[in-house]
Amino acid sequence: MAKPHLRFYVHAGAFVAVLAVVGLSAIHSPKIFSVEYDRTLVGDVDKKETNIPPEPKKVEPQGVVVTHLPTPEPVKAIYMSQCVVGTPSFRAKLVEVADTTEINSIIIDIKDFSGRLGFNTENPKLKASVSDTCRAGDIVSFIDFLHKKNIYVIGRITVFQDPFMSNLRPDLAVRKISDGGVWKDHKGLSFIDVGAKEHWEYIAEISRESYKLGFDELNFDYIRFPSDGDMKDTSYTLSQGRSKPEALEEFFKYLSSQLKPEGIIISADLFGMVTTNRDDLNIGQVLERALPYFDYIAPMVYPSHYPKTFNGWSDPNKYPYELIKYVMTSAVNRANEFDRSFGTTSPQYSANSYKKLRPWLQDFDYGGTYDIPEVRAQIRGTYDAGLTSWMLWAPSNIYTKGALEQN
């Protein structure tokens, strides 16, 4: 199946649409270096830009029994944004992909880059956070519909990138040294300080509420300190006294202690560079510090987000198979090394932690054209690194179906 000739790519929060037309080159050159490795470069679909109609009012049907599916082995997933899940005609196209290909899982935004929630709730701790633009009023029945098709449903929650909460509770936000105001990154988005324990409780509340709706697994994104913007002007008053890796691991431990005893499966999105770098990339993320606390780890290893000359390649986009195999083999080796050195001595840990690794792969035209050969090459690279599961990220929510095995 050929890709559509017309596609939209949107900066999350900034809503700067870049029109990509076959035969034309879009002018789109954001500053990228090794630590600016982030899916917000090509974020969620904007309802206005894509002419998505307003969500009709819906009332959940009575009698839906919430169930949870076991995690499939392997997981082969596609992502669905908050606006798309609230648009039945659009989301049906993604369900059709799962119906007709090897895809067996769908990741759906619960809380996106805006900080707003994508479902209705009467929970007094969460009600004010519900989005007034992008949400699915029928999320319970939609998840039930997916479950009846044996589709595993993963809910994605952005954690510390949260403009909504930063505005509501500036005392919890990353602040500016210069004037004490709320700090914002280059895209105009603000972050909650990793040390804000009230926010930890809020995230745990969202997680429990989401699990009650039927989400089978909760996927946590933006579990990090900021990575771009005027970093010299950042003040982390609530994280003082700890290094960034220590502060972040404390949050990982809290999240695990709150959710895993309730049987909730949790996964973590990490920068792709964590698979090859031993430092924390100045954002607090270290692979070995996340491994003990999550059921699955999802490094965002998009070839377009690696710097030129990475591993000696003049353009990593030209080596999608080689890059994915290289970085995920590194992750596997480090997970095995962690087991040998530390993991087997911990009562909460089990060996074979490499099985937790489940990479995000690129299915969007950034840095180059990503069509059937490029997407399939990344999947092969994942398999040849000794892994079985993967997830595809397309900010347009349009996937290269020809790269997927057909049912």
pLDDT in tens, the chain (407 residues): 444 433 333 333 322 222 222 222 232 233 333 333 344 333 333 333 334 444 444 445 557 899 999 999 999 999 999 999 999 999 999 999 999 999 999 999 999 999 999 999 999 999 999 999 999 999 999 999 999 999 999 999 999 999 999 999 999 999 999 999 999 999 999 999 999 999 999 999 999 999 999 999 999 999 999 999 999 999 999 999 999 999 999 999 999 999 999 999 999 999 999 999 999 999 999 999 999 999 999 999 999 999 999 999 999 999 999 999 999 999 999 999 999 887 555 555 567 899 999 999 999 999 999 999 999 999 999 999 999 999 999 999 999 999 999 99
Residue 46 confidence (pLDDT): 34
Q: Does residue 32 sit within a domain?
A: yes
Q: Does residue 1 sit within a domain?
A: no
3-state SS class at 76: strand
Residue 343 confidence (pLDDT): 54
Q: Does residue 335 sit within a domain?
A: yes
- Which CATH number covers residue 251? 3.20.20.80
Residue 347 confidence (pLDDT): 56
Residue 64 confidence (pLDDT): 84
End-to-end CA distance of the chain: 14
Contacts of 96 (CB under 8 A, 6+ apart): none
Is the pTM higher than 0.75? The answer reads: yes
Q: What residues are paired with 67 via a beta bridge?
A: none
Q: Does residue 19 sit within a domain?
A: yes
Q: Does residue 230 sit within a domain?
A: yes
Distance (Å) of CA 5 to CA 51, 70, 265, 279: 17, 38, 38, 41
The tally of domains found in the chain comes to 1
CA atoms 279, 281, 284, 290: torsion sign: negative
Identify the domain containing residue 272 by its residue range: 6-403
Kind of pairing, strands 390-393 and 360-362?
Answer: parallel
Residue 61 confidence (pLDDT): 52
Residue 349 confidence (pLDDT): 57
Q: Does residue 287 sit within a domain?
A: yes
